[in-house]
């Protein structure tokens, strides 16, 4: 039972991270119908920005400022760096291709992804970098329920993931910008004709999606304490899968999909440790897609006549 | 015998009854016009006949055999071809290729022989090409000559409508469903299309069911006119009968309309 | 009343037509009609000109990529099915060859039999796995097929310790991460393929046959049907085209082409390894197709040749420099308009370099490496090894300046940014990039994809498309 609960906590942590990444995929897809393959690398840059702040303030063992302030600063830096990067990518790699054939921005996205990965490799080297969280925060602090222990870092990560998603939800449902985003996702041309500045909405979408990815990058750094130039690929694939499971384009879908993938990964790592683990996961995904091509929350597209 | 017969055709979208127990029959060589205000269900009737939607009730008979539930390409193969209200030519293909595409069913050569370029494959490709040029010559000079090799997106609106008709003819169909063939055309072009539809029947022998809003066109071509409103047939008969039918006038102009006329 | 269907434009077309003039124009017209002959001629001469095994090996890779790109063109360019599992079939072909012609199972069938069996089996697999293409459209099919590829890679990696009933001990089917080594070379009609050159010519024949075949197909009702489906599936169905059947056929056709090239790949490499068939290769194939222009066969060919051959120049510093400065020159001549602005930019660039050099050498002498002889070094800063961080920062700054130069509209500012950007680019290039050829290759590949897509979204030889969403 305690093992089960431990895996549940692991799954929720992972799930929160995947959900944050999946949201970026889904939001961009919803508005531009673009599979933004560079999104995973935006997340990688966020993780490195957090690492940069950590080093700049003296490193995990001996920080010059209080740990809480440091972590907040790391989050801010990661989100800021990713946010700016996302907007820059949109401006230079996707906007000129707004009316190009569907496959052109896809290739452009792949190009951006290659570029970012190798730029990081060139600048930072192939070495793994460690956040050294254990030296920054005593791993023993946290909640303790009988045999179950949840470290304070995991609590912070889960709570901040939830908080970000709540903020996003309010933003999309309650604000004018959110309304504009929904309208643009529904029909870009019509939205433009109704006086919505579509370019600004798209920039905002990229900004929000990338900020969430940056936060996810810092979270992963804090929990798993390992960042490297290629980390965006695997995480991107998982986040993307989560977005698809939830129904790509759907915001609640991305959240649910992320949680599902995170939980599935934690439990399968805990209970079925076989060589065929990945195979089973992909097999299930294929069956799922065949049964529900639009995911959990996707709406089938009507026949246009 | 009737080429096309609709029996109690019914279609619902959600809770909305779009076509409600429609009976209609079109005889060989007849031109029947389907009129009615916007939202009357005319295009839905076309979509039901050509297999875009499956009806919720009733039957569609082509030459006495039901075509309900058949795949769309099979319905087309059996002789029902259509044009679209919102033009749907293959924009990035040439004019000639648009028509060749519609000759698919007339071909017999499979992919393997085509890949190998056997004499039969070459002969078939040439035959299809000649056939396409013949179909397009039906429209005079408009779609021949250099236009054969032009991408369809370069065509004017009226020429795209003509191309859609040529494409429908090329399927080898006997029944044409024309969805607003004169929409968006200028008066001269409208006149031309009216005469063309007449020729389609008189010279090429097609049976035609047409949706049209332009009453001059309807008057000029129709053997029979059927008026729909809210998915229900409200009048049927000659143009003059239907045009003066109080129910039709009311459907178009509202209740007060008949009095002020 | 005017006669039906009279049309002034059609009647007067010949008199209004503009043709390409002059010898240059005639050359373009001629080569656009006779491109296959041009390609065949150049490709036959290539191994003799290039000499050396390495150059021919590059040629083999280019031809393999060309086959893949032309096969993919049928699936993506004609039919519009975004198949992200495509390279799995390349892998299936390679593993199929390895199963039937190596010591793995002790089976050594004659090459034609192996290739025929592999082609038929993979065609069948394609027919089965292509079924979802009937229902799923666009990106959903893309995602599904991407999972197919992942499954294939997982199978190749993990089918090496399989416990089977009635067999003692674990059985290795795919050889796991180590793959299958010691695959037989090909042998056709008694001719044993010994050298890379033999495979080069075999592939050349295959590529030309494939081009002729696909061109034939494109003119047939099948090919026209494929393109109609991509344009408008519903309208195509109303025009008697059985869209489901044709989609599956296109998918299986692409799979078969990939599988046949896979058999040759396995034989050239004398082995198969799972890491040969990953997303990285998929990206390369797509890049080749889209760079050349999807929907165009010469486009797929040219794209494959560029993608496979140009990066090879980066292997040596001399080749890399040639490519880099050549690229700068071409970019300068084509992108800077009007050209007389170059009269400001080039001297500005030279002066700026000298000034920076003098300044830095005066203030932080420790940063600059001891002077080396001649060439670029008289103008450019050369950092000592301890200044690695500076170069890294400058690299990021270079990107920022380059992007700013693209975005700024004011002429003066733009020229200044251009001077700064080019200077920084050369600086970073000479101090770092040229020494890290493998990273530089990938960086340039990524940047090239973005720049080319932005500059020419329909590819080099593709036609611009009109898409109604």
pLDDT tens over chain A, length 305 residues: 778 888 888 889 999 999 999 999 999 998 888 889 899 999 999 999 999 999 999 888 888 889 889 999 999 999 999 999 999 999 999 999 988 888 889 889 999 999 999 999 988 888 888 888 888 887 777 777 777 778 888 888 999 999 999 999 999 999 999 999 999 988 888 999 999 999 999 999 999 999 999 999 999 999 987 899 989 988 888 888 888 888 888 888 999 999 998 888 888 777 765 667 777 778 888 888 888 888 887 776 656 55
Which pLDDT value is given to residue C457?
Answer: 87
Distances from the Cα of C357 to the Cα of B9, C114, C360, C392, C464, angstroms:
86, 64, 5, 18, 47
More confident of the two residues C433 and B19: B19
Structure ipTM over 0.90, yes or no: yes
Q: Does position C101 have pLDDT exceeding 70, yes or no?
A: yes
* Fold of the C51-315 domain: ABC transporter involved in vitamin B12 uptake, BtuC (1.10.3470)
User: Is B90–C232 a contact, with Cβ atoms under 8 angstroms apart?
Assistant: yes
- Mean pLDDT for the stretch of residues C75-97: 95
Please check whether residue C158 is in contact with residue C95, taking contact to mean a CB–CB distance below 8 angstroms. Answer: no
3-state helix, strand, coil in chain B (%, to 5): 45, 25, 30
Please name the member of C231, C240, C253 whose beta carbon is closest to the beta carbon of B76. C240
Please name the member of B101, B115, B192 whose beta carbon is closest to the beta carbon of C239. B101
More confident of the two residues A135 and C210: C210
* Closest of A110, A234, A240 to residue C286, by C-alpha: A110
Bridge partners, residue B225, by sequence: B33, B237
3-state secondary structure of B140: coil
3-state secondary structure of C195: coil
Q: Which of C238, C249, C254, C255 to mutate to test the interface with B (most CBs of B within 10 A)?
A: C238
* Closest of B88, B231, B201, B207 to residue B152, by C-alpha: B88
3-state secondary structure C404-428: HHHHCCCHHHHHHHHHHHHHHHHHH
CA distance C226 to C236: 9
Distances from the Cα of C410 to the Cα of C333, C415, C416, angstroms:
20, 9, 10
3-state secondary structure of B215: helix
Class of the CATH-defined domain B2-89+173-260: alpha beta
Confidence at C382, pLDDT banded by 50, 70, 90: confident
User: Is A303–B53 a contact, with Cβ atoms under 8 angstroms apart?
Assistant: yes
Chains touching C, CB cut-off 8 Å, 3+ pairs? A, B
Q: Element (H or E) spanning C332, and its range?
A: helix C317-335
Residue of B nearest to C463 (CA): B92
Output the six-digit token pair for B221.
Answer: 């071509």
- Mean pLDDT for the stretch of residues C335-359: 84
Q: Does position C41 have pLDDT exceeding 50, yes or no?
A: yes
- Mean pLDDT for the stretch of residues C217-245: 95
C240 CB neighbours in chain B (<8 A) are 73, 76-77, 102, 104-105, 171-172
C244 CB neighbours in chain B (<8 A) are 71
CA distance A188 to A186: 7
pLDDT for C241-273, tens place per residue? 999 999 999 999 999 999 999 999 999 999 999
Which pLDDT value is given to residue A305?
Answer: 53
Residue of A nearest to C157 (CA): A275
Which pLDDT value is given to residue C275?
Answer: 92
Residue A116 CA, chain-centre distance (Å), reads 16
Nearest-neighbour CA in chain C from B250: distance (Å): 35
CA distance C462 to A103: 13
A184 CB neighbours in chain C (<8 A) are none
Which pLDDT value is given to residue A304?
Answer: 57
Q: Where in chain B is the domain with CATH 3.40.50.300?
A: 2-89+173-260
User: Is C221–B107 a contact, with Cβ atoms under 8 angstroms apart?
Assistant: yes
Judge whether B194 is closer than 8 Å to chain A, CB to CB: no
Percent of chain C scoring above 70 in pLDDT: 95
Q: How many Å is the Cα radius of gyration of chain B?
A: 19
Instruction: Name residues of chain B where pLDDT drops below 50.
Output: 258-261
Q: Where are the alpha helices (DSSP H) in chain B?
A: 42-49, 72-77, 95-102, 111-116, 119-137, 157-170, 187-202, 215-221, 239-244, 246-253, 257-260
Which pLDDT value is given to residue C2?
Answer: 52
Within 10 Å of residue C35's Cβ, how many Cβ atoms?
A: 16
Residue reference for tokens 């999946």: A22
Please check whether residue C10 is in contact with residue B142, taking contact to mean a CB–CB distance below 8 angstroms. Answer: yes
CA distance B99 to C226: 14
Please check whether residue A23 is in contact with residue A168, taking contact to mean a CB–CB distance below 8 angstroms. Answer: yes
CA distance A170 to A233: 30
B43 CB neighbours in chain A (<8 A) are 305
Nearest-neighbour CA in chain A from C351: distance (Å): 28
Residue reference for tokens 């304490």: A225
User: Is A93–C454 a contact, with Cβ atoms under 8 angstroms apart?
Assistant: yes
Lowest mean per-residue pLDDT among C175-184, C368-377, C416-425: C368-377
Residue of B nearest to C226 (CA): B101
Residue of B nearest to C215 (CA): B115
A303 CB neighbours in chain B (<8 A) are 52-53
Please check whether residue C141 is in contact with residue A289, taking contact to mean a CB–CB distance below 8 angstroms. Answer: no
Tell me the residues of C at the B interface, defined by beta carbons under 8 Å apart. 1-7, 10-11, 13, 17, 212-214, 216-217, 219-225, 227-228, 231-232, 234-244, 249, 253, 463, 465-468
Please name the member of A104, A282, A285 whose beta carbon is closest to the beta carbon of C290. A104
Please check whether residue A276 is in contact with residue A61, taking contact to mean a CB–CB distance below 8 angstroms. Answer: no
A110 CB neighbours in chain C (<8 A) are 283, 286-287, 446, 449
A124 CB neighbours in chain C (<8 A) are 392
A102 CB neighbours in chain B (<8 A) are none
Q: Please list, in sequence order, all residues whose beta carbon lies within 8 angstroms of the beta carbon of residue C375, skipping any fewer than 6 positions away.
A: none
- Choose the most confident range, by mean pLDDT, from A212-226, C319-333, C367-381, C443-457: A212-226
* Closest of B212, B235, B236, B225 to residue B30, by C-alpha: B225
Distances from the Cα of C300 to the Cα of C75, C205, C258, C449, C458, angstroms:
12, 17, 14, 15, 12
Lowest mean per-residue pLDDT among A51-55, C224-228, C461-465: C461-465
Please name the member of A100, A111, A283 whose beta carbon is closest to the beta carbon of C447. A111
Nearest-neighbour CA in chain A from B121: distance (Å): 32
Using the Cα atoms of residue A202, residue A208, residue A213 and residue A217 in order, give the sign of their dihedral. Answer: positive
Percent of chain C scoring above 90 in pLDDT: 44
Nearest-neighbour CA in chain C from A115: distance (Å): 5
Which pLDDT value is given to residue C412?
Answer: 85
User: Is B84–A305 a contact, with Cβ atoms under 8 angstroms apart?
Assistant: yes
Is domain A2-291 in CATH 1.10.3470, yes or no? yes
Please check whether residue C123 is in contact with residue B115, taking contact to mean a CB–CB distance below 8 angstroms. Answer: no
Residue reference for tokens 């030519």: B89
Q: Does position C22 have pLDDT exceeding 80, yes or no?
A: no
B220 CB neighbours in chain C (<8 A) are none
pLDDT for C119-140, tens place per residue? 999 999 999 999 999 988 778 8
C238 CB neighbours in chain B (<8 A) are 50, 72-73, 76, 81-82
Bridge partners, residue C231, by sequence: none
Residue of B nearest to C1 (CA): B188
Within 10 Å of residue B63's Cβ, how many Cβ atoms?
A: 15
Output the six-digit token pair for A121.
Answer: 């490799």
* Span between the terminal Cα atoms of chain C, in Å: 40
A305 CB neighbours in chain B (<8 A) are 43, 47, 52, 84, 86
Judge whether B16 is closer than 8 Å to chain A, CB to CB: no
Please name the member of A103, A122, A279 whose beta carbon is closest to the beta carbon of C443. A122
What count of residues does chain A have? Answer: 305
Confidence at C153, pLDDT banded by 50, 70, 90: very high
Report the predicted TM-score, pTM, of the whole model to 2 decimal places. Answer: 0.90
Within 10 Å of residue B37's Cβ, how many Cβ atoms?
A: 16
10 Å CB burial of residue B17 (0-12, 13-18, 19+) is middle
Lowest mean per-residue pLDDT among B215-224, C327-336, C346-355, C372-381: C372-381
A230 CB neighbours in chain C (<8 A) are none
Q: Element (H or E) spanning B24, and its range?
A: strand B16-27
Domains of chain C, by residue range, sit at 51-315, 318-435
Nearest-neighbour CA in chain A from C424: distance (Å): 15
Judge whether B33 is closer than 8 Å to chain A, CB to CB: no
Q: Does position C1 have pLDDT exceeding 50, yes or no?
A: no
* Closest of A41, A6, A208, A188 to residue A116, by C-alpha: A41
DSSP C368: B
């Amino acid at each position: 039972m305690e093992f089960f609960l431990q895996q549940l906590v692991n799954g929720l942590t992972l799930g929160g991270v995947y959900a944050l990444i999946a949201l970026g995929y889904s939001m961009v897809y919803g508005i531009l119908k673009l599979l933004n393959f560079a999104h995973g690398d935006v997340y990688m840059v966020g993780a490195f920005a957090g690492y940069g702040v950590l080093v700049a303030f003296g490193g995990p063992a001996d920080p010059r400022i209080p740990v809480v302030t440091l972590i907040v600063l790391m989050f801010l830096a990661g989100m800021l760096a990713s946010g700016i990067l996302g907007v820059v990518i949109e401006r230079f790699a996707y906007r000129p291709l707004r009316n190009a054939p569907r496959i052109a921005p896809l290739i452009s996205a792949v190009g951006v992804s290659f570029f970012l990965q190798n730029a990081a490799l060139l600048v930072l080297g192939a070495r793994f970098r460690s956040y050294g969280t254990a030296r920054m925060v005593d791993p023993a602090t946290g909640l303790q329920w009988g045999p179950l222990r949840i470290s304070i870092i995991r609590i912070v990560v889960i709570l901040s993931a939830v908080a970000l998603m709540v903020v996003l939800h309010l933003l999309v449902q309650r604000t004018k910008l959110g309304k504009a985003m929904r309208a643009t996702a529904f029909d870009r041309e019509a939205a433009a004709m109704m006086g919505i500045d579509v370019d600004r909405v798209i920039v905002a979408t990229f900004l929000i999606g990338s900020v969430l990815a940056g936060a996810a990058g810092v979270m992963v750094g804090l929990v798993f304490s390992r960042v490297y130039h290629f980390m965006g690929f695997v995480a991107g694939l998982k986040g993307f899968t989560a977005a698809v499971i939830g129904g790509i384009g759907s915001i609640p879908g991305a959240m649910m999909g992320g949680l599902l993938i995170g939980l599935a990964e934690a439990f399968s790592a805990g209970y079925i440790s076989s060589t065929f683990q990945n195979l089973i996961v992909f097999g299930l995904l294929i069956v799922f897609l065949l049964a529900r091509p639009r995911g959990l929350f996707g709406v089938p597209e009507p026949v246009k006549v | 015998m009737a080429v096309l017969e609709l029996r109690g055709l019914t279609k619902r979208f959600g809770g909305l009854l779009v076509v409600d127990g429609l009976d209609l029959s079109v005889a060989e060589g007849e031109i029947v016009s389907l009129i009615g205000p916007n939202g009357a269900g005319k295009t839905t009737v076309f979509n039901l006949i050509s297999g875009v939607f499956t009806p919720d009730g009733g039957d569609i008979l082509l030459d006495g055999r039901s075509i309900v539930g058949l795949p769309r390409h099979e319905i087309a193969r059996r002789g029902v071809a259509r044009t679209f209200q919102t033009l749907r030519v293959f924009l990035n293909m040439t004019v000639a290729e648009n028509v060749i595409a519609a000759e698919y069913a007339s071909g017999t050569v499979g992919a393997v022989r085509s890949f190998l370029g056997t004499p039969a494959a070459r002969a078939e490709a040439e035959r299809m090409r000649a056939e396409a040029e013949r179909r397009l010559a039906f429209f005079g000079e408009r779609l021949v000559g250099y236009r054969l090799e032009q991408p369809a997106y370069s065509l004017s609106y009226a020429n795209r409508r003509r191309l859609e008709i040529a494409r429908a003819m090329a399927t080898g169909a006997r029944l044409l469903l024309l969805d607003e063939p004169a929409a968006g055309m200028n008066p001269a072009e409208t006149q031309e299309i009216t005469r063309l539809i007449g020729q389609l029947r008189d010279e090429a022998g097609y049976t035609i069911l047409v949706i049209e809003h332009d009453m001059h066109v309807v008057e000029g071509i129709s053997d029979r006119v059927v008026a729909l409103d809210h998915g229900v047939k409200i009048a049927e008969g000659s143009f003059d009968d239907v045009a003066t039918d109080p129910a039709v006038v009311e459907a178009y102009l509202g209740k007060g309309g008949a009095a002020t006329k | 009343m005017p006669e039906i269907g009279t049309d002034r434009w059609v009647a007067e077309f010949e008199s209004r037509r503009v043709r390409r003039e002059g010898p240059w124009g005639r050359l373009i017209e001629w080569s656009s009609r006779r491109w296959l002959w041009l390609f065949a001629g150049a490709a036959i001469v290539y191994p003799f000109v290039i000499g050396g095994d390495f150059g021919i090996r590059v040629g083999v890779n280019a031809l393999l990529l060309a086959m893949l790109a032309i096969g993919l063109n049928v699936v993506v360019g004609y039919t519009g099915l975004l198949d992200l599992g495509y390279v799995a079939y390349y892998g299936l072909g390679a593993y199929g060859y390895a199963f039937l012609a190596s010591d793995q199972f002790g089976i050594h069938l004659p090459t034609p039999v192996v290739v025929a069996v592999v082609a038929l089996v993979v065609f069948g697999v394609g027919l089965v796995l292509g079924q979802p293409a009937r229902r799923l459209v666009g990106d959903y099919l893309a995602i599904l097929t991407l999972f197919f590829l992942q499954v294939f890679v997982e199978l190749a990696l993990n089918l090496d310790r399989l416990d089977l009933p009635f067999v003692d001990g674990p059985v290795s089917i795919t050889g796991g991460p180590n793959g299958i080594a010691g695959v037989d070379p090909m042998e056709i009609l008694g001719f044993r393929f010994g050298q890379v050159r033999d495979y080069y010519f075999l592939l050349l024949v295959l590529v030309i046959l494939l081009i002729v075949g696909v061109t034939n197909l494109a003119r047939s009702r099948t090919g026209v049907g494929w393109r109609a489906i991509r344009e408008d599936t519903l309208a195509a169905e109303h025009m008697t085209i059985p869209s489901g059947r044709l989609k599956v056929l296109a998918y299986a056709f692409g799979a078969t082409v990939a599988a046949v090239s896979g058999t040759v790949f396995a034989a050239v490499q004398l082995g198969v390894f799972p890491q040969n068939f990953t997303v990285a290769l998929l990206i390369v194939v797509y890049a080749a197709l889209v760079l050349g222009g999807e929907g165009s066969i010469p486009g797929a060919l040219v794209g494959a040749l560029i993608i496979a051959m140009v990066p090879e120049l980066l292997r040596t510093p001399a080749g890399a420099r040639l490519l880099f400065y050549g690229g700068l020159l071409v970019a300068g001549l084509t992108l800077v308009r009007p050209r007389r602005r170059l009269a400001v930019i080039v001297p500005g660039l030279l002066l700026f370099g000298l000034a920076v050099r003098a300044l830095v050498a005066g203030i932080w002498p420790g940063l600059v490496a001891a002077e080396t002889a001649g060439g670029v070094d008289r103008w450019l800063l050369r950092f000592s090894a301890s200044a690695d961080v500076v170069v890294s920062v400058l690299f990021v700054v270079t990107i920022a300046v380059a992007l700013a130069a693209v975005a700024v509209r004011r002429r003066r500012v733009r020229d200044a940014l251009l001077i700064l950007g080019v200077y920084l680019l050369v600086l970073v290039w000479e101090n770092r990039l040229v020494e890290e050829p493998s990273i530089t290759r990938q960086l340039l590949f990524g940047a090239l994809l973005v720049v080319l897509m932005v500059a020419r979204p329909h590819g080099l030889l593709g036609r611009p498309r009109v898409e109604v969403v």
